[in-house]
A and B are shown apart, each in its own frame.
Chain A
Amino acid sequence: MSPLEENHIFSGTYGFVTNTLGGPDWLAYGMGAVAVIMIVVNGFLLIGTLFTWMERKVVGRFQSRVGPNRVGPFGILQAIADAVKLLFKEDIVPRRADRLLFNAAPIVMLAPSLLALAVIPFGRGSYVADLNIAVLYVVAMGGIASLAVLMAGYSSGNKLALLGSMRAVAMLLSYEIPLVMALLGITLLAGSMSMVDIIEAQHVPFLLVSPLGALIFLIAMSAELNRPPFDVTEAESELVGGYLTEYSGMKFGVFYLAEFCNVVLAGALFAILFLDGWEWAILPSHLWFLIKVFGFLFVASWVRATLPRMRIDQILTFAWKYLFPLSLVNVLALAVETIAWPDPSLGQLWIMVAVNWVIAALAIPLLSLVVDLKTPARAGRRVSPVEEAI
């Protein structure tokens, strides 16, 4: 509880309630906690809303368009205009829908990303809890989001929605393994699962120490978040809107917001685990954290603007045949290095950087030579002469 008591907002509210109002201790504690939670959650949702605008703007520029520019300066109020529009829309629940699950799914989608905020340090000394299994906790919360997707797909009473959510679960099962492997490498390096410990262990950013881990994290995260090129769950050319097909009004809005908030959360994770969190020179720590998060979000938008959507079989083949062995190589290399230097000095860390970049430069092309990502011809399928020649 020490970080909470160091928090100015908490201690200010606590002191105001006990001293000025003369309230009891438990009330002061509760109100202080609520004040902190209000600021963290609302600030996060604000950044999530801002990201919906930013992504549209950035993707627009990537496609030689202008993007939203009518509402407010540079269209920055577009997200608010969208929210107002969604609030006024009719809220339709299909007759065949499972009402309880159908209404609960958006909340279940948004809740875990807010819960995961508890362990995210936004700056030096500003975090709600320094959980000693924070990395595991965040991964578990990420798993709940796909439960919400399955709930939405099942309860819609719509085949397309169910298919979309089934794809999401298949993708999650496949990509959770490389993702956890990448995080395992980080945990080995830092010797802890606590976010604060991981940041303090990064004398050299883990992006340099574990380049393979960062790459695997990026790929697996974009699959977990159903972002392009892995957005088969809502592939409009095949599935109308996937699990979002039957949702309308603000329920759709909450799903949309939750999706973008999850991306922001992934950016925060990437900044903490690979980019040294809040640490850097001159600027205040909160600002550095935000800059790193928005750097990640920019790259995410860039990938979205570039890559076309893959087929579900391509996605799963890629996960199991390529990404999984790559993550094994990564974990093996980091484990050996950790055994060799349990508590690496700065020089040893730089040696690890060099070794790991060489391993990455060897492993990626070698695996590409070994692994054949082409889907094997199904039995009885007519093989075209072109395919035969290849």
Chain B
Amino acid sequence: MYGIGILKGLVVTAKNLLRKPATIQYPEERVPQASRFRGQEFTWFVDRCTGCASCAKFCPLGIIRIETDPNGGNEQDGGSYRVDVFDIDQGRCMYCGMCVEACPYDALHMGSNFEAAQYRREDLVINVEVLKARDKHPSTWYRPQLEREKFDPFEGQPKEWKDAGRENPFWHPQRPEMLPDEGDTRPTANGEYK
């Protein structure tokens, strides 16, 4: 009989009418975001960075420009290079995260932001001042130690640079400020607990 299918269809849409709308009113409401989200505003811990420029070398797009200066220190004794220029062109970044994977000292992390629209392309290039001044909201992507600590980047707690990386403080015994405080429960260089 003709019309039965139409009636069935009307019932289907009527069920949708009684349902709550699936829409999320974006600026007012937000979808829960994954903590491994690879977002903008790279989080950079300047105290961890040695200026090795691994990130720039591994970037497939070549959008990271880094210039370093010996800064008079002796790197044999654990002294770091001073990073003078650290430009990341986020307008061309594809957020692959290779720079974060490449970083040997866990100094660079993916950010957790996605609302960084600008009116001009030049404004999308972030430089060393911006990276230093930014609040630290590192994504837990490729940083399992952050996940182990149940770190939520969207809670808005800037991380202490000591807690951000997997790096062991005993790698740099010359720098007393990197040594763990009393009562630190993290493993030693050999993977043993104190």
Contact = CB atoms under 8 A, between A and B. Distances in A.
B16 A303 contact: no
Interface in B17-48: 17, 19-23, 25
B2 A66 contact: no
B13 A322 contact: no
Given A322-B2, A364-B2, A64 B22 contact: yes
Contacts of A373: 2
Contact of B17 (A62, A66, A307, A369): A62
A66 B23 contact: yes
Interface residues of B, number: 17
A302 B13 contact: yes
A305 interface: yes
Given A302-B14, A307-B9, A61 B21 contact: yes
B158 to A, nearest CB: 35
B187 to A, nearest CB: 51
Interface residues of A, number: 20
Given A62-B17, A65-B23, A66-B23, A306 B10 contact: yes
Contact of B1 (A60, A62, A368): A368
A61 B17 contact: yes
A132 interface: no
Interface in A118-148: none
A62 B13 CA distance: 6
A187 to B, nearest CB: 26
B72 interface: no
A248 to B, nearest CB: 29
A95 to B, nearest CB: 37
A365 B23 contact: no
Contacts of A62: 13-14, 16-17
A63 interface: yes
A40 B25 CA distance: 38
Contacts of A63: 13, 16
A364 B3 contact: yes
Nearest to A63: B16
Interface string A320-335: 0010000000000000
Contacts of B1: 364-365, 368-369
A205 B166 CA distance: 79
Interface in A289-304: 302-303
B13 A306 contact: yes
A66 B25 contact: yes
Given A61-B17, A62-B17, A364-B3, A302 B10 contact: yes
Interface string A62-95: 1111100100000000000000000000000000
A364 B2 CA distance: 8
A61 B22 CA distance: 10
B12 interface: yes
Interface of B: 1-3, 6, 9-10, 12-14, 16-17, 19-23, 25
8 contacts: A60-B21, A64-B22, A65-B21, A65-B23, A66-B21, A306-B6, A306-B9, A306-B10
Given A61-B16, A61-B21, 7 more contacts: A62-B17, A63-B13, A302-B10, A302-B14, A306-B13, A307-B9, A369-B1
Interface of A: 60-66, 69, 302-303, 305-307, 322, 364-365, 367-369, 373
Sorted from nearest, which 7 A-B pairs have the closest CB atoms? A368-B1, A306-B13, A368-B2, A365-B1, A64-B22, A66-B23, A306-B9
